[in-house]
Amino acid sequence: MQSEELKQFVVDKIEDLKARDLVVLDVSKHSNITDYMVICSGTSKTHVRAIAENLLSKAREANITILGSEGRDTSEWVLVDLGEVILHVMQEQTRDFYQLEKLWQEPA
């Protein structure tokens, strides 16, 4: 699966569970680890975990290689690494604190 297709797969699966404030960042020019970062919020620990678990489940069904996932035990911030696409699912206060979008945005 091409990185563009994988990005759309991730977006579709997290939208299925009503992820909030979805942002897709093309970081291919700044990172040799991944092409896209997808950042979204969940309304609670349960919602954050459910969004990540849904993506993991659907990726397994589609035979997509999962390189790793972190944070499901606390569900403040769950990261799912699919190689060319990395998903960050966060609770609102965690997302406000770390402000990943500002770290990866293009300079003005």
CATH class, domain 3-101, is: alpha beta
Enumerate long-range contacts of 96-100, CB under 8 Å, 24 or more apart: 100/37, 100/39
Phi, psi of 56 (to 5 degrees): -60, -45
pLDDT for res 57: 97
Domain boundaries, the chain: 3-101
pTM of the model: 0.93
For the record, the structure tokens of 104 come out as 């990866």
pLDDT for res 45: 95
Q: What is the mean pLDDT of each run of 10 residues along the chain (108 residues)?
A: 92 96 92 94 96 97 96 94 97 94 71
